[in-house]
Amino acid sequence: MKERDRTEDALPILAAAASGQKRNQMNRTSEEKFDIREEIKLIPKVAVLVAVLLIVAWEALLFLVLFPHEKHPAPALPIQILVGLLSGSVLAFFILLVVYVNRDAKRRGMNSTLWTVLVLLVPDAIGFIIYFVVRQPVMARCPQCGATVTPSFNYCPKCRSALHPVCPKCHRAIRAGDTFCPYCASELKASA
C-alpha cells in the first residue's frame, strides 16, 4: 500500500521532469558546456568594430609617429611589422576579453560594472584570472514562468515548479534514470 502511494506521488513529477528534460539539461551546473562559438556571440558587433578602429589607430600611431621619430636608428621594416602585429593582437585580445567579462558577468548575475573595472585596473591579467576562478554559473530560466533562477535550484522560487527531476519524498535533485533516490532510498520508478 505504501509503495503504491509513493509511485502515484512520483508519477506527475517524473512525467513533468521527463518533458522538461531537454531544457533542464541546459540548466544544470554540472552540465554547463563550453562552446567557444556561444561565448564569442556574447561580444557585440559594435565592440568588435571599436576594437578594429582602435587597432587601426594604434598601428597608425606606431608607423606614422613612433617609428619615424625614433631617436635611435628606426628598427628594420620586418621588425616594425612584427611589433605592429604583436602589439595589435594583444590590444585586440585585451579589449574583447574586457567586453566578454562585462557581458558574461551580467548573464551570471554578478556585478558586471565592478568586474569590468577590476579586470581593467588590476595589472598583469590577475583581474581576469580572479574573474574566471570565482565566476558564478550562468543563470537559467524557469521553463514554466520564465523567472531567472540559479541553476542549483530544484524548484522555481516564483511558481514552485520543479526545475530538475526531484525525489517525491525528500525533494532533492535526482537523475532522470535513477530507480531509487540516492539520498532517502525511496523508489522512483513510475512505470515498471
Alpha carbons 1 and 4: distance in angstroms, whole number: 5
Residue among 75 and 157 whose Cβ is closer to Zn ion: 157
At closest approach, how far in Å is the CB of 185 from Zn ion? 7
Helix 77-107 vs helix 126-134: crossing angle, to nearest 10: 30
Applying the rule CB under 5 A, the residues between 81 and 100 that interact with Zn ion are none
Grid cell for residue 32: 554547463
DSSP 8-state class, residue 164: S
Choosing from 12, 170, 180, 189, the residue that interacts with Zn ion (CB under 5 A) is 170
Residue among 98 and 140 whose Cβ is closer to Zn ion: 140
Binding marks (x or -) toward Zn ion, 31..50, rule CB under 5 A? --------------------
Residue among 127 and 165 whose Cβ is closer to Zn ion: 165
Residue among 48 and 138 whose Cβ is closer to Zn ion: 138
Q: With b meaning 16 or more CB within 10 Å and e meaning fewer, what string describes 27-39?
A: beeeeeeeeeeee
Of the chain, the end-to-end C-alpha distance in Å amounts to: 16
| Sole window of 34-42, 51-59, 114-122, 158-166 interacting with Zn ion (rule: CB under 5 A) | 158-166
Query: 81 to each of 53, 62, 67, 88, 172, how far by Cα in Å?
Result: 18, 10, 11, 10, 60
Does the footprint of Zn ion cover residue 184 (CB under 5 A)?
yes
Residue 135 pairs with which residues in a beta bridge? none
Alpha carbons 20 and 34: distance in angstroms, whole number: 22
At closest approach, how far in Å is the CB of 23 from Zn ion? 12
Choosing from 56, 77, 126, 159, the residue that interacts with Zn ion (CB under 5 A) is 159
Alpha carbons 83 and 74: distance in angstroms, whole number: 12
Applying the rule CB under 5 A, the residues between 98 and 157 that interact with Zn ion are 142, 144-145, 147, 156
In the complex, the residues that contact Zn ion under the rule CB under 5 A are 142, 144-145, 147, 156, 158-159, 167, 169-170, 181, 183-184, 186
